[in-house]
Amino acid sequence: MAEEKKKGLALHWQILIGIGLGIVAGIVLCKITPYENWYKYIKWAGDIFLRGLRMIVIPLVFTSIALGVAGMGNSAALGRIAGKTILYYIATTAVAATIGLTLVNIVKPGVGASLNLAEEVASVSSGEVSFIDQIVSIVPSNIFESMAKGDLLPVIFFAVIFGFFMNRVDTKHTITLSGLFTAVYEVIMKITLFIIRLAPFGVFAIVTNVVGKQADDPQALLSMAGSLGIFVLVVWGGLLIQGGVVLPLIVRFIGKQNPWRHISKMSTALLTAFSTCSSGAALPINIRDSQEKCGVSNKIASFVLPLGSTINMNGTALYECVTAIFIAQAYGIDLSLAQQIMIVFTALLAAIGAAGIPMAGMVMLAIVLSAVGLPLEGIGLVLAVEQLCDMPRTCINVYGDSCGAVIIAHSEGEQLTI
Ligand code: ASP
């Protein structure tokens, strides 16, 4: 955008510098004084940035989906796009989970891991929310309550219904509502642009805080030396295969676009996802850049991306598989092939159910573990490295959504500008 060019140094470079300086500042500050003494002077800036992004998510998602669905015109187009979107999400998430499963079985990072390192997990429930309950809860009983709680799936559901029926009332009402929603949407996009300007500072504060917290915890650093370090490498390696090979190939051969140019255009959204560990926080940037930089239509971006930010989590599914099997290995539990397939299946469901917020994937791990009878305390084994795993998996979650928008836009005959 013109406003971005005026600045000189591109925003993604500014964010990268923010990340780099944050790492240095976190380490240096810990050397000078303990984490407790300084974090409150830094953390607030990251909190403001994150809250600012979350502030716009609900109005953005509601108006953009309602407009997008209304813009599809007829139910056949809606059904076609929704069908392709869900198919793409399930297929890529299943591939990601399988990559995780394969790598962790080859490297076996958990074999011989010391169980002494397990941290106490205060309150993990077995997470036995039934599948039926999950489906039922998509239909909001009170849309304002769902909005207030930030529950995206019910909000998406209501917005789809609203957009669908917006086209089925008197034309003068359709025109009024479209005008109103377009106006709100445009204003929210302007606010997004304003908040993105703060990203380098917000990201700096978030990273300084995270690095400081870890650097102040010698136990966590020590544990990285052994099997936990290899576990992190397996997670990163799997994510790298999904994000560096599988998804780019899909963009290249199904979306017929240059994957590297696409990544470079989406870099602000990806870096925001990486540093905030929240697909929800990266969503406004993802929607904006998919449209303005990649040329995806509003109709597709505003349907595919919000839905993706809550149900399409390639990185999370991969993480769930690697972690569940790592825990089984650490406890010396042999899993049959059927149990491993069960893990892939529940990892898919856990990834769909996980919210786009930090650590959601780790909480959902309880579902995967209980599905095959693995000890829930195993989660304590990986707590120390949760941040290190959440950052890259959120980045891949958001990248997967953005690839989805590109290939679906291409399949609908849109001219992209990647
Ligand atoms: N933090 C991830 C996200 O927002 C979810 C997770 O914890 O896996 O996409």
Query: In ligand 1, which atom is closest to the CA atom of 360?
Result: 7
Residue 120 belongs to a domain = yes
Q: What is the pTM of this model?
A: 0.84
Index of the ligand 1 atom closest to the CA of residue 394? 9
Per-residue pLDDT at 146 = 92
Task: Read off the CATH number of the domain in which 278 is found.
Answer: 1.10.3860.10
What's the pLDDT at 223?
61
Confirm whether 5 is domain-assigned.
no
Q: Please give the distance, rounded to the nearest whole angstrom, from the Cα atom of residue 54 to the centre of ligand 1.
A: 14
Would you mind telling me the total number of residues written for the chain in this entry? 418
| Domain assignment of residue 2, yes or no | no
Query: If you average pLDDT over each of 28-37, 215-224, 284-293, which comes out highest?
Result: 284-293
pLDDT score for 106: 95
Residue 218 · residue 95 · CB < 8 Å: no
Residue 330 CB-density burial (10 A; 0-12 exposed, 13-18 middle, 19+ buried):
buried
Instruction: Kindly state whether residue 369 falls inside one of the protein's structural domains.
Output: yes
- 8 A C-beta contact, residue 204 and residue 25: yes
pLDDT at residue 3, rounded to an integer: 44
Pocket test for ligand 1, best of 152, 278, 387, 401 (most atoms within 8 A of CB): 278
Distance CA 367, CA 381 (A): 16
| Ligand 1 centroid from CA 378, angstroms | 19
The CA 327 to ligand 1 mean position distance, Å, reads 20
Tell me the HSE value of 119 on the side-chain side, using a 13 A CA sphere. Answer: 16
Instruction: Quote the ligand 1 centre to 274 CA distance (angstroms).
Output: 10
Q: What is the pLDDT of residue 370?
A: 86
Residue 245 per-residue DSSP state? I
Which atom of ligand 1 lies closest to the CA of 359? 7
Cα separation, 391 vs 395, whole angstroms: 6
Report the range of poorest mean pLDDT among 101-110, 215-224, 317-326: 215-224
Q: What is the CA(313)–ligand 1 centre distance, in A?
A: 8
The response to whether residue 161 sits with its C-beta less than 6 Å from ligand 1 reads no
Indicate the helix (H) or strand (E) that contains 205: helix 199-215
343-374 per-position pLDDT tens digit:
999 899 888 888 888 888 888 888 889 888 88
Question: Please, are residues 282 and 396 in contact by the beta-carbon 8 Å criterion?
Answer: no
Identity of residue 58 = I
Instruction: Dump pLDDT digits (tens) for 189-227.
Output: 889 888 888 888 988 998 898 888 877 766 666 666 678
Domain count, the chain: 1
Ligand 1 in contact with 283 (CB < 6 A)?
no
235, 362 in Cβ contact below 8 A?
no
Per-position DSSP letters for 110-149, written without gaps between them: TTT--GGGPPP-S--------HHHHHHTTS-S-HHHHHHH
pLDDT band at residue 392, thresholds of 50, 70 and 90?
very high
Question: What distance in angstroms lies between residue 79's CA and the mean position of ligand 1's atoms?
Answer: 28
**Over residues 238-245, mean pLDDT:** 98
Residue 406, pLDDT > 90, answer: yes
pLDDT at 4: 47
Instruction: Give the structural domain span for 188.
Output: 10-411
Residue 357 in contact with ligand 1 by CB distance below 6 A: yes
Q: Does residue 153 fall inside a structural domain?
A: yes
Residue 371's identity, in one-letter code, is A
Q: Which residue has the higher pLDDT, 5 or 246?
A: 246
Q: Is residue 380 part of a domain?
A: yes
Does the pLDDT of residue 120 top 60, yes or no? no
Q: Cβ neighbours of residue 167 under 8 Å, at least 6 residues apart?
A: 70, 73, 174
Q: Whose CA is nearest to atom 2 of ligand 1?
A: 394
- The answer to whether residue 385 sits within a structural domain is yes
* Gap from CA of 351 to ligand 1 centroid (Å): 9
Contacts of 146 (CB under 8 A, 6+ apart): 140, 154, 155, 158
Predicted confidence at residue 31, as pLDDT, reads 85
Residue 1 lies in a domain: no
